[in-house]
Structure 1
Amino acid sequence: MTALSNLTIPTLDLVAVIWATTCWLGYNYYANNAKRSLMNTMVKWRIKWSHTMMSRENRIVDSQVINGLSRVVTFFCSTSIFITAGLFASIGASQQIMEIINQISFMQTTTLQAIEFKFSFLVLIFVFSFFKFGWAITQHSYSAVVLAAVPDSKQIDMERDSELAQLMGTLSGLGSRHFNDGIRAYYFATATMTWFIHPLVYMLVVTWVILILHRRDFRSKLLQHLNKLDDVIDTERVSR
């Protein structure tokens, strides 16, 4: 057993939470900085969108896209609050939860302190996701302000205002990046539920989640189609 402040929790549980945290934050850094990831590919499409927007007289569609993105993020942001509140209630019922877990044959026998430690880690995950979603909402709202600052298509100067339009796409991309960080937190929070079964099961599930995320971010058919069409568009631009 290892002492941690006033808690006494199994060493294997500490190893599991360190492994999960390292995988979670490490993958976030890797996916956000890799050049050929799904997210960074979509950033290029957002820049294309912002440049196309400059030639439109009516930009209602563009504002609706931003509003739609904001609504999705707002839903997850409020959901994180509700889940966090539910987890705090679960911490208050840790004694009853411990008794139920100890009666289930396929779950590892646990202690009250271990239950509270696991719920506290889940709270940290959802608090992290809340701040990520909250910042994503802010960035999407700022991209809407930049959209409104782009001159009308009849008055626009492509050379002068292209950087302003690109800024809108860049801010939208930053909002998407923090939204994806928050969504990944949900993936790892779901994996954390298996921690109540056994720490080794938890570490295996976290590894499995990493493999799933990597496949979707770097090897999915969606990414292949986006890159294929992106290359075609770039080729047509050069030929002109």
Structure 2
Amino acid sequence: MQAIDYAALALFILSWTLYSHITNGTIRLFERESLTRVMTEHRRRWILNSLRRDLKMIDTQILAGLQNGTAFFASTSIFALGGCFALLGATEKVDAIFRDLPIAFQGGRTAFELKVGGLTGLFGYAFFKFGWSYRLFNYCTILFGGLPMLEEARRDPAAARAAAERVIRMNAIAAGHFNAGLRAIFLSIGYLGWFVNAYLFLVTTAFVLVILVRRQFFSPARQLLMEDMRDEDVDESTGD
């Protein structure tokens, strides 16, 4: 392990932390909302819209889809953890392969095991985030089942709104943990560059972050959602 390795690892952790805060809106780097925050508003509109109808089968299907997606990534993280432990068992073979690569720095067995340990930590973090997100989506489903029917919501709109807000907050918290796990999965791709050398680690981390920032702040998906929100704001202001 050389100084450049420690510097690259520190920049990786710093970039991850900074990106998380920028996406969540606690740090304002761009004069625009992230795709994640825009979707939070659409979650709110979805839950509030469900108060206007008694038939909520579509809503329960949406919640089931959110849970299934979270369960898929949790299972994927478990498989990735198993792969990391398999790598630790084949350290000598992998180290021999890297010794034959002219572009790889020779860090030795200890350095390789430390890098695999870091990758294991990434996938372990992702698993706990996905696991907790799955449970919170389950709680969200239970809270959603307690929403009042249309007639009851009309009789007591304040209580209905309060119940809907609880569902919205729980759904947003679950989505936040899911997004945190997904970020760990994405950034693990950049982390793989460290197995070659620290310079490639920096390049792959920057490459992944550029892609993530573009998707959050400059993607066609975000532009589409913002246009939809502006159209709804115009309709409300004109009374149409």
Q: Which moved more, 1:65-74 or 1:18-27?
A: 18-27
Q: Which residue of 1 aligns with 2:189?
A: 190
The runs of 5 or more residues in structure 1 that have no matched partner are 1-8
Q: How does 1:8-19 map to 2 (within 5 A)?
A: 9-19=1-11
The residue that corresponds to 2:169 in the other structure is: 170
Distance 1:23 1:95 in 2: 32
Superposition deviation, residue 232 in structure 1? 1.3
| Seq. identity, % | 26
Q: Which residue of 128, 131, 134 maps to 1:134? A: 131
* Contact 2:140–2:170 (8 Å) recurs in 1: yes
**What's the RMSD between the two structures over aligned residues?**
1.4
TM-score, normalised relative to structure 2? 0.92
Question: 1:202 Cα shift?
Answer: 0.7
* Aligned-partner residue type, residue 17 of structure 1: L
C-alpha contact 2:189 2:208 (8 A) present in aligned 1: no
Amino acid of the residue matched to residue 16 of structure 1? A
Deviation per residue, 1:182-219 (Å, 9 max, x gap): 11111111111111121011111111211111110011
Letter in 1 for 2:75: S
Deviation at 1:111, TM superposition (A): 0.4
Corresponding residue for 1:3? none
Ranges in structure 2 where 5+ consecutive residues have no aligned partner: none
Q: Following the alignment from structure 1 to structure 2, what is the Cα–Cα distance between the partners of residues 167 and 40?
A: 18
Runs of 4+ aligned residues of structure 1 deviating over 6 Å after TM superposition are: none
Q: Comparing 27-36 with 135-144, which one deviates more in the overlay?
A: 27-36
> Following TM superposition, by how much is the alpha carbon of 1:239 offset from its aligned partner in structure 2, in angstroms?
2.8
Q: Structure 1 residue aligned with 2:22, among 30, 47, 50?
A: 30
Given that 1:98 and 1:110 are in contact with CA atoms closer than 8 Å, whether structure 2 keeps it comes out as no
Query: Aligned runs of 1:94-109 on 2, under 5 Å?
Result: 94-109=91-106
Q: Residue 170 of structure 1: CA displacement?
A: 2.3
Q: Which amino acid aligns with 2:11?
A: W
Look up the equivalent residue of 1:149 and give its one-letter code.
Answer: G
**Residue 55 in 1 paired to residue 47 in 2?**
no
5 Å matches for 1:1-240?
A: 9-33=1-25, 36-156=33-153, 157-240=156-239
Q: Is the 8 A contact 1:195 1:202 kept in 2?
A: yes
Question: Is the deviation greater in 148-157 or in 184-193?
Answer: 148-157
- Contact map agreement 2:105 2:196 (CA 8 A) in 1: yes
Contact 2:190-2:207 within 8 A present in 1 as well: no
CA distance in 1, matches of 2:11, 2:88: 23
**Structure 1: distance between partners of 2:207 and 2:67:** 30
**Deviation larger for 133-142 or 31-40:** 31-40
